[in-house]
Amino acid sequence: MERIYVGERAVSPATGVSRWVVVDSRTYGLQTEAVAYLASLRARDCSPNTERVYAGRVALYLNYCLMRRLDWKTPGFLGLAGLQQWLIEAPLPSRTSEVRPGPARYRSRATANAVMTAVAEFLRFGATHGWVPATTTALLSEPKLLRFIPPGYDTGEFGQRREVQAASFRFRIAEPGYEDLSDEQIRHMIAIAPRARDRFLITLLACTGLRIGEALGLHRGDMHLLASSRAVGCGIEGPHVHVRRRTDNPNRALAKSRFSRMVPVTADLVALYTDYQYERDRVDQAAESEMVFVNLFRPPLGGAMSYPNTKEMFDRLARTAGHACRPHMLRHSAATRWLRDGVDRDVVQRLLGHASPLSMERYRHVDDAEARAAVEHVDSLKECP
C-alpha cells in the first residue's frame, strides 16, 4: 500500500516545541482532523510516545480508506470489518536496514486490536466535533453481558451494570502473559553492564518498580539519598527518590501518573548512584544538565538520555545475557517480588503509582514453582495422622 499520509514529528522554529502531526506526503499539507485529534491527546497530557504511536495508526487508517476508496468519515460496517481483517493479512513493509529481505512479517491480532482502538477514538473525536456522523460511531461498540465479573467491579444492586459496551471490531486473543526476571537474571544483568550509569539504571528499575519514562525524567533534585533530607526542605526520613510529572523534560520523558510520589531506596542503590556520579564527573558537559540520566559516551555529551538510547542499551544487554531484557520487565519483577514477599497490596499499589487497585491484577500470577508447591503441600497432608 502506498503511504500517502504519514505521521511526522514537527518542531516549531519559533519555540522549539515538538509535536506529532499527520501529513499528506504529496502536498506536505496537514490532515486537519488528525492534527486536531493529536492536539487533544497533548491536552490530556498523554506522553509524546503515545502521540507518536497514534499519529502512525491514524495515518494507517487514512491510507487504508484511500486504497479502498472509502470516505474515512463514513467507512461503513464492511469498511471497518475489512480494515480489521486487512491489518493481520497485509504483510508489513520490509525494514529499510535489511539488505536481503527475510520472510514476510505480519501484524499480530493484539496489534490489530490496538490500531482499531485508535481508529475508534479518532472517529469518536470527529463525531464530537461534527465531522463524523453518529451512524459511524454507532458501529464502533455493541452491548455485551459480562459473564465473568472483574475483581472489584460493582454490578449494581440488581445486576444492572453487567451489560457494558464492548468494541465491535476486536479479535479475541488470549490474555497476554507478563514476563518478569528472576533475581539471578537481574544480578547477572547488573554484573555484565559495562558502565556505572547502566548498572545504576537497571538496579533503580528493579528495586523501585519505576516506569522507564519516570526514571528518564528524574532530575538530580529528586534524588534525596541522605539519611535526612531536611536540609533541602524535605521531611521524609531515609534515602528516597521523588517521582514527579513534568511536561518540559528535554528528552520528552513523562511520568504516566499525574500524582507525585516518593519511593524509598536502599543503601546499595545509593552506592551505585555514587559510582555513577564519579563516571559522570569525567564528562564536563554533563555538569550543565539537571537530568539524572545523561549521555556520557556519544553525542550530544551531557544531553538527557532518550528512549531510543535506552532501548539500544537494553537490546545490547539482552544479546549478551541471552534472554529478553526490557525496562518494563524490571518493573513487573519488582511488583511480583513484593507481592510474593507478603507486602500489602495497597503499599505495592502506592509504590508503583497505580491509581486503581484493578491495575494490580496483572502483576500477581502463579508460576510453576508455586503451583508445584501447592500440590506437594496437599499431597503431604495424606501422611498426617
Question: Apex CA 240: angle with CA 237 and CA 242, to 5°?
Answer: 115
Over the range 28-49, which residues count as b (16 or more CB within 10 Å of their CB) and which as e?
Answer: eeebebbbebbeebbeeebbbe
Q: What is the pLDDT confidence band of residue 153, given thresholds at 50, 70 and 90?
A: low
Weakest mean pLDDT among 192-201, 223-232, 243-252, 357-366: 357-366
| Number of DSSP helices (H) and strands (E) in the chain, helices first | 13, 8
Among 217, 182, 224, smallest CA distance to 201 is for 217
Q: What is the pLDDT confidence band of residue 278, given thresholds at 50, 70 and 90?
A: very high
Average the pLDDT over 163-191 and give the result. 82
Among 245, 266, 242, smallest CA distance to 255 is for 245
Domains and CATH numbers, the chain: 5-91+107-141 (no CATH), 183-363 (1.10.443.10)
Alpha helix segments (H runs only) across 253-304: 267-281
Question: Apex CA 305: angle with CA 251 and CA 355, to 5°?
Answer: 65
pLDDT digits (tens, 9 = 90+) for 211-264: 999 999 999 999 999 988 888 889 899 999 999 988 889 988 888 777 899 999
pLDDT at residue 365 above 60? no
Residue 114 neighbours by CB under 8 Å, 6+ apart: 57
Cell of 25: 506526503
pLDDT digits (tens, 9 = 90+) for 13-61: 887 778 899 999 999 899 999 999 999 998 888 878 889 999 999 999 9
What pLDDT does residue 99 have? 58
pLDDT at residue 270 above 70? yes
What percent of the chain shows pLDDT beyond 70? 83
What pLDDT does residue 174 have? 66
Q: Which amino acid is at 305?
A: M
